[in-house]
Amino acid sequence: MNDLPIMTELYRVFSALILVILAMLISRWQELDLEKQMLVAVIRAFIQLTLIGFALTYVFDVDSPFVIVLIISVMVIIAGYTSGKRAVGVPHARPVALASIALGASLTLGLLVGLHVFEFTAQQIIPISGMVIGNSMNVCSLVMKRIKEEINGRSLEIEAALALGATRRQAANRYLKMALQSGMLPIVDSTKTVGLIQLPGAMTGMILAGAAPLEAVQLQMIVMYMLIGAAAFTGLGATFLSYRQFFTADHQLLST
């Protein structure tokens, strides 16, 4: 695609807008009232992706470790804020989400660089960081919401266990496992069916860019494996940081 004239590239982009127009017409026909949201989404996506394209061009040219760390930090902060906002009802949700996502991203990216799977360059680390942090954000949100639902719905059982001398961890342990499982299942299920139902984004992008299929497959394997690891690290952090927010230091369940 890099060899195509700019007008050809723009033609392809705007031609694809026909699909959005058709979707808006279907929304209008079925009275779904989604036309405005679709229009806003398309305009925002165009502006955001154009800006990030120019920004990444500059970052790749500079290729400074400081700039790389700064961009990753901004990604983590935005992801933590977004995930915490989703976890309505979880005390201190945003700090918990920020810490959990930072933990997952740090461990995952640290291992990938330490094992020389990827080099610490802007062109390699920033796209990979986006995948890791985006996936971690979704896992964190799922785990935190499930913990809130389980603790609120099982408060009588938890209080009974606490009354019998159980610690807060012991009283909630069963429900914490369920929350962690629910957060990790989507990426595990996606990994099971990869290549059978759909060709994932990283693989598709490489093939469209002209890479050999086996080279694209290799990268996609790495991506799927790293996302499972990131989900485990982030989910574990979210689980053990979130549930503590529902108990006092004396192992008493806070009223919700």
- pLDDT tens per residue, range 152-174: 998 999 999 999 989 999 999 99
| CB-neighbour burial class of residue 7 (10 A; exposed 0-12, middle 13-18, buried 19+) | exposed
**In the predicted model, what is the mean pLDDT of residues 127-154?**
94
Can you give the pLDDT at residue 190?
85
Can you give the pLDDT at residue 200?
72
Can you give the pLDDT at residue 92?
93
Q: What's the rounded Cα separation, in Å, for the pair 183 and 197?
A: 22
Q: For 218-247, how does the pLDDT look when each residue is reduced to its tens digit (9 = 90+)?
A: 888 898 999 999 999 999 999 999 999 999
Q: What's the rounded Cα separation, in Å, for the pair 13 and 251?
A: 57
Can you give the pLDDT at residue 198?
66
Q: For 189-217, how does the pLDDT look when each residue is reduced to its tens digit (9 = 90+)?
A: 888 887 766 667 777 788 877 888 888 88
What Å distances lie between residue 77 and 82, 98, 129, 151, 164, CA to CA? 9, 6, 13, 27, 41
